[in-house]
Amino acid sequence: MDEALFDVLLVFGTILGLMVGSFLNVVIHRVPRGESIVYPASHCPNCDHVIRWWENIPVLSYLFLRARCSGCGAAISMRYPVVELLGGLVVLISLLEFGLTWSALAGIVMGWNLIALGMIDFETKTVPDILVLTLGIPGLILSFLIGSWTGLMLSVLSAGILGGFFWLTRKIANASFGEEAMGEGDITLVAAIGVYLHPIFLPMFLLTASVSVLIAALFWAWTKKTSIRDVEIPFGPGLALGGWVLFVAGKSMMGGLMHLAAPFLNNY
């Protein structure tokens, strides 16, 4: 593809991503409440003031409204511009990494779903089944488009391994702590993430996800102003972050590790 044309695609793709991010905010707010995502039009949850188009421009509106509703002055959560930015970043990074390919589309579909799933889990401690499906089903189709039957088979294998591993971990954790240490939703979520990962990435996914869970826990403690010991472990956001990073950068990460280890491998 022509380089200039690709740059245009990057700009428009990112703008589209910001707009989808704005829609994801609606999803994050309404899906856990069982509300329709198309009706009624977006409104302030505090005063029902209907959001006009110029109050709905990704990131910019948040800045010129100075994080306040123009109707009642209620504070608008930081989550809105953050999710919008993430929606755009997902497109930008996927296109830069994979070019105009099915892999890029997979990175985008995976990223958008995981933003919604991660945020909803973070805010409500639930994992809506509908979003696990909109993550997993297109993932299977894209695996087939990327790697034909082998790709599809590897996706199912990864989903099974990760789902099984978390199912077993949950059984053991619940038996030893006598309380719910991990939600059932985390099992279906991790299986749906597995659809996007080659089995060879699974050990590194678990490592990346653990580090991401720790980062999410620290962020949780910071935003809720509690001690790290009182933190409810937010598995969802950690799994979401770890899974997406591995999908986009897994190859480079593995390559980097091999490069670091090379001088110490005796068969090198």
Nearer to Zn ion, 33 or 229 (CB): 33
Asked whether the beta carbons of 243 and 121 are under 8 A apart, the reply is no
Asked whether the beta carbons of 129 and 158 are under 8 A apart, the reply is no
What is the binding site for Zn ion (CB under 5 A)? Answer: 44, 46-47, 49, 69, 71-72, 74
Nearer to Zn ion, 65 or 233 (CB): 65
**51 class by beta-carbon count within 10 Å (0-12 exposed, 13-18 middle, 19+ buried):** middle
Give percent helix, percent strand, percent coil of the chain, each to the nearest 5: 75, 0, 25
User: Could you tell me the CA-to-CA distances from 152 to 37, 64, 196 in Å, in that order?
Assistant: 31, 46, 10
Longest alpha-carbon distance in the chain? 69
CB of 71 to Zn ion, least distance (A): 4
CB of 101 to Zn ion, least distance (A): 43
CB of 55 to Zn ion, least distance (A): 10
Nearer to Zn ion, 68 or 171 (CB): 68
Nearer to Zn ion, 67 or 228 (CB): 67
CB of 192 to Zn ion, least distance (A): 35
Closest CA to 138 of 167, 170, 106, 164: 106
Closest CA to 25 of 135, 123, 116, 129: 116
Give the H or E element holding residue 211.
helix 202-223
| CA–CA separation, 159 and 174 (whole Å) | 22
CB of 39 to Zn ion, least distance (A): 19
Nearer to Zn ion, 49 or 125 (CB): 49
CB of 260 to Zn ion, least distance (A): 52
Nearer to Zn ion, 46 or 226 (CB): 46
